[in-house]
Amino acid sequence: MFKKVFPLSLILFLRFLGLFLVLPVLSVYALDLEGATPFLVGVIVGGYALTQAIFQVPFGSMSDKIGRKPTILFGLLIFLVGSLVCAYSTDIYTLMFGRFLQGAGAIGSVVTAMIADLVEEKTRGHAMAIMGGFIAMSFAIAMALGPVIASHYGISTIFVITAILALVAIIILFTKVPTPPKIKHIYHGKTSTADILKDPNLLGMIIINAMQKGLMTAAFVIIPVFLTQPEYGFGWQKSELWMVYAPAMVAGLIAMGPAAVFGEKKNIPKQIFMLSIVLFTASFVMMGLTHSSAVFITAVIFFFIAFNMMEPLVQSMISKFAKVHQKGAALGIANSAAYFFTFIGGTFAGLFLNISSRETLGLTIGAIGLLWLIYTAVKMKNPLRYSHLVIPEDEVDFDKLNNLESEHIAEWFINETEKVVVIKYASEKLSEDELKAKILK
């Protein structure tokens, strides 16, 4: 399983490393560009996410139709060009255009769907945890290196590095990524957005994913500005920002493993999500109210622990709740909403810095976090446990299978590459022997 997941996770690692390298410092460096205001800086930080939001669904749906690899290639090429535009920008508006172009290469949901194609559902949680671990590692490395590279070589160098990383990802795509199996599902109609949004489990995960990403961008706008701008009382140098990001990311990486294990194996993702929301809420309130560097660093550590506890579980839960023919579209919608909120989070934080105080911003986000916690407590349910029965295709009576109706069967599909039929069923309600008796020749 690791051999299938590793190259795709590495592609995401390289892409996110490029994006994350600039996040710790982009807001303070962008303030020095011609035409910059705090509001426009907020748009710059989250700008890539607006076009990500627009193109996630088309990319996800396109990958269901023409294949994952061609779609990923197209997205990486757009991302590469956008990175070069950012590298050579000299004013705030050119940088904004480059950030929008970076986001137009919206491959996140396609890579996640491809992992879901390659890995059986019973090990998919582990696969998503590996993917989340690579993303978290890209965070950790970026938080440590971004401020150092920017202070010594300028932020344009980071964007050039990002373009090079995209090129390396393309090479990995065509030399290391396996071709996913060809799947024939039982559903003949097209996947619609309405079908996905009507599913309460998928809708709940879409909201959680969106809130998590929106708070991420808000944090990356306010953390470097609060720490380096004299009016907020801390007075750090830009080159010192790694000292808050590095320990926070180490703590986040440590917390991610147990959260993924307990969330998946104990089937308690709801409880993990609620704990994460509490930490998110506390972190922003602390960042808004404290005048102590130690307390501020603790708040940032809370933030990254919360983010990393959520990250592997969110993608895993979406892929579990979505039916086989919906995976690309469902992940596309979820990531589209997430990236839209990423843009909103950065823009909201930048606007607030223009018109209000640090304390008001922290308390406002804290109040939003409290509402989020209440919604999750009331609406979210832990997923049902399903098993998968895998039977050689030539042993199945397809007349019986096509007429099979049971509330305990979620779906079935044919893996044409491996010549097997896969049936997803509630093992607590229907035994394997009972199911075999209904469909075997």
User: Which DSSP string corresponds to 204-238?
Assistant: HHHHHHHHHHHHHHHHHHHHHHHHHSGGGT----G
Q: What is the mean pLDDT of residues 431-437?
A: 80
Domain of residue 12, residue span: 2-379
Same domain, 304 and 336: yes
User: Does residue 394 share a domain with residue 351?
Assistant: no
Both 187 and 300 in one domain: the answer is yes
Whether residues 400 and 277 fall in one domain: no
- Same domain as 407, residue 310: no
316 lies in the same domain as 411: no
Domain end point (choices 379, 397, 412): 379
Last residue of a domain, one of 347, 379, 411: 379
pLDDT digits (tens, 9 = 90+) for 164-184: 999 999 999 989 888 766 655
Quote the pLDDT of residue 281: 96
Same domain, 349 and 398: no
Query: Which among 379, 400, 421 is the end of a domain?
Result: 379
- Is pLDDT above 90 for 144? no
CATH number of the domain encompassing residue 163: 1.20.1250.20
Same domain, 268 and 166: yes
Residue 438 pLDDT greater than 90, yes or no: no
Mean pLDDT value of segment 224-234: 87
> Closest Cα to residue 381, out of 125, 208, 166, 247?
208
**Three-state DSSP class for 91?**
strand
Q: Are residues 394 and 365 in the same domain?
A: no
Shared domain check, 393 and 295? no
Q: Report the range of poorest mean pLDDT among 12-21, 151-160, 347-356, 385-394.
A: 385-394
Spatial separation of the C-alpha atoms in residues 226 and 221, rounded to whole Å: 9
Question: Minimum mean pLDDT among 22-36, 63-77, 167-181, 385-399: which range?
Answer: 385-399
Give Cβ neighbours of residue 329 (< 8 Å, ≥ 6 apart): 57, 60, 61, 64, 191, 193, 196
pLDDT top residue among 333 and 300? 300
Residues 66, 105, single domain; the answer is yes
Q: What's the number of domains the chain is made of? A: 2
Domain match, 15 and 129 both? yes
Tell me the per-residue pLDDT of 260-302, one tens digit each, with 9 for 90 and over.
778 877 888 889 999 999 999 999 999 999 999 999 999 999 9
330 vs 213, higher pLDDT: 213
Looking at every residue in the chain, the average pLDDT score rounds to 84
